[in-house]
């Protein structure tokens, strides 16, 4: 559960997004889509806490995990300087991932920005189950577009939205999805990851649509293991609401059970 994962490669994908390849055969076998690693970025007091990152892929037989991350603060800035051949201590694979239901097809994936990372991994699982897969992917602008082709199984149907219209649909990806549904798309189930407002919007709309919807959430974490009770989100189940932990009860929750 704690491993020294070797940095095999670090590649810049966009102006601020990176692909990190970590060699850790056991984690690579264990990891399932939606799970994450809790990475100690540096053996130093700054950055202090570990940082959580979704597993974006674990190509079979390679013993390697893919992490795609965006530089947003001090920790990710330091991570973007990681040197090939060095090691990062990682806790993982942590959390409860996506649970696709056999037979429900097509699978609709909804990704906002970096939220696409765990969905890339999920797409491979769904592809193995021979499902039809649609990925609705929204970013702010063309410059933030990740080269998804490299990470997706070929059969995934990609629907692209940019806030500024520099590529694909102009507007929020949730609007693009809503249009597709109006146009006759009938998801068997939906999986979403991205900024909270996007998830909240789709969960809200889904109260009308009512498809099975799994969402992957983010919260500030300390332990990553369920011990500190820090990463709380409010969940309603069977009429009762209580705080659950993103790190061990999630990060994937039933979209209709989350209290936003």
Partner 1 sequence: MVNMADLRVRLGPLTLKNPVMAAAGTFGFGAEYAPFFAPEKLGALVVNGLTLRPREGNPPPRLAETPAGMLNAIGLQNPGLKIFLEEELPRLKSGRVAVIVNIAGESEEEYVILARELSAVPGIIALEINLSCPNVKQGGLQFGTSAAAIAKLVSKVRQACALPLIVKLTPNVTDISELARAAESGGADILSLVNTLMGMVIDVDTGRPFLGNITGGLSGPAIRPVAVRMVYEVYRATGLPLIGMGGIMEVDDALQFMMAGARAVAVGTANFIDPYTVPRLISALDVYLDAKGFNGPENIIGAAHR
Ligand X SMILES: Cc1cc2nc3c(=O)[nH]c(=O)nc-3n(C[C@H](O)[C@H](O)[C@H](O)COP(=O)(O)OP(=O)(O)OC[C@H]3O[C@@H](n4cnc5c(N)ncnc54)[C@H](O)[C@@H]3O)c2cc1C
CB-based contact 115:20 (threshold 8 Å): no
Among 104, 209, 222, 254, binds ligand FES (CB under 6 A): 222
Whose Cβ is closer to a second copy: residue 48's or residue 243's? 48
Q: How far is the CB of 77 from a second copy (least distance, A)?
A: 10
Per-residue x/- mask for partner 1, residues 203 to 242, rule CB under 8 A?
A: ----------------xxxxxxxxxxxxxxxx-------x
Q: Is 215 in the site for ligand FES (CB under 6 A)?
A: no
In angstroms, the CA 247 to CA 100 distance is 19
| Binder of residue 40, out of partner 1, ligand FMN, a second copy, none (CB less than 5 to 8 A by kind) | partner 1
- Please count the residues of the chain: 260
Residue 222, classified by CB atoms within 10 Å of its CB into exposed (0-12), middle (13-18) or buried (19+), is middle
Whose Cβ is closer to a second copy: residue 47's or residue 63's? 47
Residue 215, classified by CB atoms within 10 Å of its CB into exposed (0-12), middle (13-18) or buried (19+), is buried
Whose Cβ is closer to ligand FMN: residue 185's or residue 232's? 232
What are the C-alpha distances in Å from 48 to residues 52, 67, 81, 203? 13, 20, 17, 34
Among 7, 9, 14, 47, binds partner 1 (CB under 8 A): 47
Task: Report the C-alpha dihedral over residues 24, 30, 33, 36, rounded to 10 degrees.
Answer: -60
Contacts with partner 1 by CB under 8 A lie at: 1-2, 40, 45-50, 89, 91, 219-234, 242-243, 248
């Amino acid at each position: 559960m704690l491993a020294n994962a070797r940095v095999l490669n670090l590649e810049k994908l966009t102006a601020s997004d990176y692909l990190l390849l970590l060699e850790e055969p056991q984690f690579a076998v264990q990891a399932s889509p939606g799970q994450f690693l809790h990475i100690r970025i540096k053996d130093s007091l700054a950055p202090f806490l570990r940082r959580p990152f979704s597993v974006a892929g674990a190509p079979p037989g390679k013993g390697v995990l893919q992490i795609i991350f965006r530089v947003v603060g001090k920790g990710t800035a330091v991570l973007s300087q990681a040197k090939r051949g060095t090691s990062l201590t990682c806790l993982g694979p942590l959390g409860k991932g996506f649970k696709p239901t056999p037979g429900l097809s097509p699978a609709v994936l909804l990704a906002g920005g970096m939220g696409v990372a765990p969905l890339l991994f999920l797409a491979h699982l769904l592809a193995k189950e021979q499902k039809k897969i649609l990925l609705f992917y929204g970013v702010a602008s063309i410059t933030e577009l990740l080269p998804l082709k490299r990470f997706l199984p070929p059969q995934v149907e990609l629907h692209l939205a940019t806030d500024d219209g520099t590529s694909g649909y102009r507007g929020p990806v949730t609007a693009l999805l809503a249009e597709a549904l109006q146009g006759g798309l009938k998801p068997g189930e939906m999986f979403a990851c991205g900024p909270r407002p996007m998830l909240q919007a789709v969960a809200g709309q889904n109260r009308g649509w009512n498809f099975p919807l799994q969402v992957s959430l983010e919260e500030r974490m300390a332990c990553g293991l369920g011990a500190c009770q820090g990463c709380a989100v409010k969940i309603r189940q069977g009429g009762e609401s209580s705080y659950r932990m993103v790190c061990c009860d999630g990060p994937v929750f039933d979209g209709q059970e989350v209290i936003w």
